[in-house]
A and B are shown apart, each in its own frame.
Chain A
């Protein structure tokens, strides 16, 4: 239901926006309105909006997301080729950011009140407040230009990739994934670290922690075995909440790093008024967010025996 409402609203909004997919052809001195109208008719954009919507719903019912004007191929095909790249980027960033965020929080709590705690808090806050596109540009300049250890962009080396062996292709892919994934990871890990630190500090005064201390466990063991497990529950909720944030972050990061994912395709589609690609992107995005929430609920139920018993 949520996905259907989102799709309908997006369909209406993008069509109401001034201009159309063929506005850009008017930038050519030789092109006149007649050419534009011919193109509009070819794609059915001369039909009334309700009729276009009914046709679109009909194509959705047949498992199609319509036709992309800018890519001249089905939207499903465009997004189908882009989605694996976005999922790969988001997946790596998600796992990496949670691992890094939890590690930072553990260090902070273990050294709470020390200079290390304050420094890590400041660094987290720095990345937490930094716009994603800005960090992407800084990362690009830092690690692709000033210290050129990673490629500038793309998912693979367009020149050499096809001539590489299987291992080479794998390395090439990883090499290109590093910077965009690092950017997203830094952004998301700052959030995770702050949440996790707060959650850990919440559980430390609990009775079972005091009992563990009385049993003679070291602070490290207490944190790892007892505090962390219990403090993970709120972080699991964050998995679901991170999906939309990572997805929107990926949109800008993909553009800066020329990463051929869904965000890159949809941002271009907004500029070119590629109506159905925008709507298709929003549908896929809302499905991903919904699945993220579901995953979060499932993980929560799995991690908390109290919820399972209900």
Chain B
């Protein structure tokens, strides 16, 4: 049916004499990848990007010094592959790493990549006036020096197992000659931000807000030309619209299917799906402090045994099955299975409704009313569960949690909130419980900020539930400073066991990323933190190409922005 529609359009276009023809050079490599996506990128500056679309696009345009391997090892440099740096040398005391720039590497405007670009990138990310989200995670980097034009030396405050990861993963290198004349506070608004010049295997062509972003292969790239000629992110804010574009053949790829879409996609023999571990976990977070007075414990969740009883009353396997079908697994704790440091057999608080009822009885929360709800000293066992209305699955999980806890005699009021409103409530610790989700990075270290004492006590911390346990903190700190993988894993296991038993949250689901794509597309491996990272290796065989694969790019890539470009 989709072919019928395209045939109609092509007839019309042919009448206008405007269909592109396949060039002879398009036999081995070529093709266009059209990706259905839900929104515009936030910004196309690597050190400022936050959105997933922004990450996908900047990762194609810009390069890091080295790239993490598919195993996501973050200790030392094992598994990392050269990118802008063709090799690197560790300092004798391991407090410095010298990265040697690939002499063939050039920016898309033809200017060679130099070590001063690396120094500039790190210095600007550490500049407080830029407001880079990367700044808090590169604090171990003291500075970068450039002893010669092809060598950038990173200097660290302390030796750390993941110092190489910190140096290369967090930042893609940006061209100093484009950015140096622009004050960091004006970067987002600058013309340079709208015409990014990188060194990656794809060059920027155009960004039509609310419609599309287009990249084209950099055929002269120092890493070689990518296999696909053109990448297009086709933007549709409504998920159903984005999916229908894939189903009708308007696009080739969608990054996240929902459980209810699986059957529909299966009806299309030309479509394939692939599942991939993702770095996400969701949870019902309890506020352990009283929202009315943070100096006091929460009247309900301040009690560890009660939190454990609520966890016991929640059938997480059934919850995940009913909300995600097969597209998620029960979460193990504040971690994900893709981490090498995660033991997938971590002991959990089991689902045991009779035992949960016994614990609640023993704590004095007894069934007092005909509706089966519990109370103690006249106070009902009741709380509000906040959830962002923008997330359909989180709303569904809230409803299931509400029903499961009702069976234990706990009354839950589900409160759907606009996402900014929910964030504001969490930031001010003005909530009872909330269904949250963290999208993590390859390092498990972020758990320290989200669940550790530091993240609880700092006014700027994101441990919104104020869980504090020095034993957990100590295990995490020890694990993060350990160089031995086995010790590291053992210590993280101890940390996770501690927090699971303390139950500051009910660990709900670990979604499995399920992508759908057209069968003419041959994919490479997908990395859990970034499915898109190997797009330059994706491929469409010549005999499976369709007219859009041979359409020329929309325009030649824009010229480079000179240094000191005026900003609007």
Contact = CB atoms under 8 A, between A and B. Distances in A.
B524 interface: no
A175 interface: yes
A166 B15 CA distance: 12
Interface in B126-141: 128-137
Nearest to A175: B9
B439 A29 contact: yes
Interface string A131-166: 000000100110011011111111111111111111
Interface stretch (B83-91, B352-360, B547-555): B547-555
A151 B132 CA distance: 39
A18 interface: yes
B438 A29 contact: yes
Interface stretch (B92-100, B283-291, B459-467, B498-506): B459-467
A70 interface: yes
B269 interface: no
Nearest to A30: B137
Given A20-B420, A24-B419, A158-B34, A144 B248 contact: yes
A145 B247 contact: yes
Interface in A69-85: 70-74, 78, 81-82
A144 B189 contact: no
B220 interface: no
B4 interface: yes
A119 interface: no
B288 to A, nearest CB: 19
B136 A27 contact: no
Interface string B2-18: 10110011001101111
A147 B43 CA distance: 37
Interface string A8-47: 0000000001111001111111111111011100100000
A310 to B, nearest CB: 47
B419 A25 contact: no
A256 B128 CA distance: 40
B421 to A, nearest CB: 4
B446 A30 contact: yes
Contacts of A140: 240-241, 244
Interface residues of B, number: 85
A6 interface: no
B212 interface: yes
Given A18-B420, A42-B185, A67-B189, A152 B134 contact: no
Interface in B412-464: 418-421, 423-427, 438-441, 446, 449-450, 458-462
A81 B234 CA distance: 18
B210 A260 contact: yes
Residue among A17, A27, A71, A257 with the highest chain B CB neighbour number at 10 A: A27
B18 A164 contact: yes
Interface string B456-480: 0011111000000000000000000
B134 A264 contact: no
A217 interface: no
A172 B551 CA distance: 15
A260 B18 CA distance: 25
Contacts of B119: none
A148 B248 contact: yes
A265 interface: yes
Most buried by B among A73, A82, A175, A273: A73
Given A152-B241, A167-B18, A39 B462 contact: no
A257 B234 CA distance: 12
B172 interface: no
A197 interface: no
Given A26-B423, A153-B245, A257-B241, A165 B18 contact: yes
Nearest to A156: B211
B390 interface: yes
B342 to A, nearest CB: 16
A91 interface: no
A35 B236 contact: no
Given A29-B449, A29-B450, A30-B133, A273 B245 contact: no
A33 B427 contact: yes
Interface in B1-56: 1-2, 4-5, 8-9, 12-13, 15-20, 32, 34, 39-40, 42-43, 50
B123 to A, nearest CB: 16
A72 B423 contact: no
A160 to B, nearest CB: 5
B43 A72 contact: yes
Given A18-B424, A153-B245, A168 B439 contact: no
A264 B427 contact: no
Contacts of B39: 268
B330 to A, nearest CB: 21
Contacts of B247: 145
Contacts of A71: 40, 209
A140 B193 CA distance: 35
A258 B555 contact: no
A234 interface: no
B248 A73 contact: no
Interface in B208-254: 208-212, 214, 232, 234-238, 240-241, 244-245, 247-248, 250
A239 B132 CA distance: 50
Given A29-B438, A29-B450, A141 B244 contact: yes
25 contacts: A19-B423, A23-B423, A23-B424, A26-B462, A29-B440, A30-B137, A32-B461, A33-B460, A38-B128, A42-B131, A140-B244, A151-B248, A153-B245, A158-B211, A158-B214, A160-B547, A164-B13, A164-B18, A165-B16, A258-B235, A258-B237, A260-B209, A264-B210, A267-B237, A268-B210
Given A149-B5, A160-B547, A172-B9, 13 more contacts: A23-B420, A24-B50, A31-B136, A33-B427, A72-B189, A140-B241, A160-B548, A160-B551, A162-B552, A163-B20, A168-B16, A175-B12, A260-B210
Interface of A: 17-20, 23-35, 37-39, 42, 67, 70-74, 78, 81-82, 137, 140-141, 144-145, 147-168, 171-172, 175, 255-258, 260, 264-265, 267-268, 271-273
Interface of B: 1-2, 4-5, 8-9, 12-13, 15-20, 32, 34, 39-40, 42-43, 50, 128-137, 185, 188-189, 193-194, 208-212, 214, 232, 234-238, 240-241, 244-245, 247-248, 250, 390, 418-421, 423-427, 438-441, 446, 449-450, 458-462, 547-548, 551-555, 568
